Amino acid sequence: MAYSEKVIDHYNNPRNIGSLDKSDASVGTGMVGAPECGDVMKLQIRVNEQGVIEEAKFKTFGCGSAIASSSLATEYLKGCTLDNALKIRNTDIVKELNLPPVKIHCSVLAEDAIRAAIADYQAKQTQA
Amino acid sequence: MNDYFTVLGLPRRLTLHPADLDRLYREHSWEAHPDRRPRTEQAQAMTETALLNEAYRTLKDPYRRAQHLLALEGISLEQNPPQSLLMAVFELQELLEDPDTPPAELIAQKLHWQNRAQTLDQTLHQAFSEWDQGNRTALTTLKAILVQQQYLNSLLEKLQIATN
C-alpha cells in the first residue's frame, strides 16, 4: 500500500513534535492507544485565558499514518478555540491525508487524542 | 461465524488440555480426510478439513482461544487501554528510541516486561477457571487481559530486537 504524498510529508517533517509540561495547569494531555497495532499517541495543548489553543505538541509511536494524523491534528488545533477543536472529526483528517480504509483507525486515534487532551485540560480547570 | 468449540466437539470452556485438543483434532481430521470420502464429497471434505485446521490453530493458543470466545459472545475488543499501561508503553518507547540508553537498562526493561507478561498469563488462567465455573464477569476480565497482551507482545518483540 502506498502512502499519499501528504502522509509522507507529515511523516518526514512532522509539525509540532515534542512535549509540554504535563503538570502545568494550562496544559491538557491526551494519551491514547490502539491495541491492535501497539500504537501510542500523546497529544498536548496549551490553552490561554481566552480558551484558545496557543500551542499543540504531539509524539506518536506508530505507523506513518498515525504520525501524520497526529501531526495534522496539532496543525488544526493551533489557534483554535476549545469549542471548535471539539468539532474536528477524524473524517477531516482522512480527507486531507487521503487515508486508505485500513488506516482510518489512525485518524480515529488522533480524534480521540484531541478529545482526551481537552478533557484533561477541562478537568484541571474545575479542580483549580 | 464458525464456533470452533463446536467444530471440534468441545464445550464452550476455556481450560483445555493440549493433549485432549490434539486427540480431538486428530479424530475429526481422520473422519474428514478427503481420502476417506467418496468422490462426490471431495469438496465438502476439503472445506471441513480447512475448518478443522483453523479451529485447532485458534484453540491451541490460550490468548486466541479467549479472543474467539469473546467474539462468539459478541464482545468487541475495541477499548482504550488503561492510562497507566499507555504511559509505561510510551516511556519504554522513548527509551528504545534514545541512542544513549545503556544496554543494561534495556535488559532490565526486558526482564520487567517479561515478568509482566508472565503475570498476565496467570491472570488469564484465573479468568479461564472463573468462566468455566459459569461466571460471566470473567468476560470483562478477559477483554482487559487481551488488550494488554497485544501491547506486551509488540513491546517484547521490540525489546528482543533491541537487546540482541
> What's B142's domain CATH number?
1.20.1280
Could you tell me the three cell numbers for B99? 541512542
In a domain, B134, yes or no: yes
Residues of A designated as active site: 37, 106
A61 → closest Cβ in B80, B93, B147:
B93
Inter-chain residue contact B87 with A33, CB threshold 8 Å: no
pTM of the model: 0.78
- One domain, residues B53 and B96: no
| B81 in contact with chain A, both atoms CB, cutoff 8 A | yes
Residue A112: its chain B contacts at CB < 8 A? 80
- One domain, residues B94 and B151: yes
Q: Where residue A128 falls among pLDDT bands split at 50, 70, 90?
A: low
Q: Which amino acid is at B98?
A: D
- One domain, residues B56 and B19: yes
CA A104 to chain centre: 14
**CATH, residue B10:** 1.10.287.110
- One domain, residues B112 and B157: yes
Task: List, as ranges, residues 97-116 from B with C-beta within 8 Å of A.
Answer: 97
In a domain, B76, yes or no: no
Interface test with A, best of B77, B79, B80 (most A CBs within 10 A): B80
- One domain, residues B155 and B94: yes
One-character DSSP codes across B8-77 = TT--S-S---HHHHHHHHHHHHHHH-GGGS-GGGHHHHHHHHHHHHHHHHHHHSHHHHHHHHHHHTT---
Q: How many domains does chain B fold into?
A: 2
- One domain, residues B56 and B101: no
Per-residue pLDDT of chain B (164 residues; tens, 9 = 90+): 899 999 999 999 999 999 999 999 999 999 888 888 888 888 888 999 999 999 999 999 999 999 999 999 998 877 678 888 898 989 999 999 899 999 999 999 999 999 999 999 999 999 999 999 999 999 999 999 998 898 898 889 989 998 88
CB A58 within 8 A of CB A71: yes
Q: What is the pLDDT of residues A62-92, one digit of tens each?
A: 888 999 999 999 999 999 999 999 999 999 9
- One domain, residues B87 and B141: yes
Question: Using the 8-state DSSP alphabet, how is residue B102 labeled?
Answer: -
- One domain, residues B95 and B24: no
CA distance A47 to A20: 11
Inter-chain residue contact A40 with B90, CB threshold 8 Å: yes
| Gyration radius of chain B over CA positions | 20
- One domain, residues B88 and B120: yes
In a domain, B120, yes or no: yes
In a domain, B24, yes or no: yes
- One domain, residues B156 and B89: yes
Looking up cell 500551542, which residue turns up?
A55
Residue numbers of the domain that contains B36: 4-60
In a domain, B22, yes or no: yes
Question: Using the 8-state DSSP alphabet, how is residue A13 labeled?
Answer: S
In a domain, B143, yes or no: yes
- One domain, residues B87 and B155: yes
Half-sphere exposure (Cβ direction) of A105: Cα atoms closer than 13 Å: 15
**How close is the nearest chain B Cα to the Cα of A43, in Å?**
12
| B77 in contact with chain A, both atoms CB, cutoff 8 A | yes
Inter-chain residue contact B77 with A35, CB threshold 8 Å: yes
In a domain, B66, yes or no: no
A35 → closest Cβ in B83, B93, B151:
B151
CA distance B148 to B86: 10
- One domain, residues B89 and B154: yes
| B90 in contact with chain A, both atoms CB, cutoff 8 A | yes
In a domain, B67, yes or no: no
Domain boundary among B45, B60, B75: B60
CA distance B151 to B132: 26
| B147 in contact with chain A, both atoms CB, cutoff 8 A | yes
